[in-house]
Amino acid sequence: QLQAFGGGLVQAGGSLRLSCATSGRTFSNYHMGWFRQAPGKERELVAAVSRRTGSTYYAYSVKGRFTISRDNAKNMVYLQMNSLNLEDTAVYYCAASGGDTYFRGQSYTYWGQGNQVTVSS
């Protein structure tokens, strides 16, 4: 089970931190990712962190602004979002993958509920 929280309304240029709590599985066995889906657009993988080495992946649009991290002791994954802009407005989802590749969106099969992030001008 994945439960994300921390979304909300923020002004452009501001920051938000999303958190995702996991339960029911051995967290350290899974790659973790954050996806987002804006109205009228496909869901996209914006950040991912691998299960063993902690290697990270970022979509080009968020690189340098977003930071994904995980705390295996707490079964938590985080997405720190800085310098937010209007294009970051979307519903954000955390997800888990038991597959081999952490940077491919198709490998994620476990999903939390969406969390709305709205960036205003």
Percent of the chain with pLDDT over 90: 88
Residues in the chain: 121
pLDDT per residue over 43-99, tens digit each? 999 999 999 889 999 999 999 999 999 999 999 999 999 999 999 999 999 999 988
The pLDDT score that the predictor gives to residue 47 is 98
Q: Does 115 have pLDDT greater than 80?
A: yes
Instruction: Quote the mean pLDDT of the chain.
Output: 95
The pLDDT score that the predictor gives to residue 35 is 98
Select from 83, 106, 85, 82 the least CA-distant residue to 33.
Answer: 106
pLDDT per residue over 4-50, tens digit each? 999 999 999 999 999 999 987 788 899 999 999 999 999 999 999 99
Q: 86 — phi, psi (to 5°)? A: -60, -30
As beta bridge partners, residue 5 has 19
